[in-house]
Amino acid sequence: MPSLTLTVRLLTPHSDLWDWQTRALCRTTRSDLFFGPDSESRATRIRRERQAQELCQGCPVRHECQRHALEVGEPYGVWGGLTESDRRFGHDRARQHLPANSKPNKRLRISPRHPRPGRQ
């Protein structure tokens, strides 16, 4: 009788894609500074986004964060100092924030069908 062998390929982490996040200043900051509630007024949103952008200005991984948000099409929050509006309506202007030697990361793809946390 032939032997049946089950071959399993273990998933391996791609830490090189996410390591930059461990150095981000926002790791020790309230997430509601970067992600506001749906019911937030325009004035409150603008004030919150400015505070988040100020923190992002001094972040050592700001460019990696911006690149990530642009590449995956992140629709919510402030990423690397870029607001939702910056990314949605000023895509070309948003890319200008990236360093000239910035190369897109072709390995990372997020399914458009994947539900975003807190948004259904």
In tens, the pLDDT along 64-91 reads 999 999 988 899 999 999 999 999 887 6
Residue 107, pLDDT score = 47
Residue closest to 81 by CA, chosen among 43, 101, 41, 51: 51
Is 65 annotated as a binding-site member? yes
What DSSP character marks residue 95?
A: H
Rounded to two decimals, the pTM is 0.66
Amino acid at 8: V
In a domain, 64, yes or no: yes
Q: Is 59 annotated as a binding residue?
A: yes
More confident residue, 90 or 20: 20
Q: State how far the Cα of 66 lies from the Cα of 78, in Å rounded to an integer.
A: 9
Q: What is the pLDDT of residue 89?
A: 83
Q: What is the mean pLDDT of residues 108-117?
A: 57
CB atoms within 10 A of CB 29: 13
Q: Is residue 40 part of a domain?
A: yes
Is residue 26 scored above 70 in pLDDT? yes
Whether 54 is in a domain gets the answer: yes
Contact criterion met (CB below 8 Å) for 70 and 94: yes
pLDDT at residue 93 above 70?
Answer: no
Q: What is the mean pLDDT of residues 12-24?
A: 78
* Alpha helices by DSSP H, the chain: 15-18, 42-57, 62-72, 84-89, 91-96
Mean pLDDT value across residues 46-74 = 94
Amino acid at 81: G
7 inside domain:
no
Tell me if 39 is assigned to some domain: yes
The total domain count for the chain is 1
Q: Is residue 10 part of a domain?
A: no
pLDDT per residue over 100-110, tens digit each?
Answer: 555 544 444 55
Contacts of 94 (CB under 8 A, 6+ apart): 66, 70, 82, 86, 87
Q: Is 23 among the domain residues?
A: no
Q: What is the C-alpha to C-alpha distance for residues 75 and 20, in angstroms, rounded to an integer?
A: 20
Q: What is the residue-averaged pLDDT of the chain?
A: 80
State which residues form the domain around 78: 30-96
Domain membership flag for residue 108: no
- How far apart are alpha carbons 119 and 115 in whole angstroms? 7
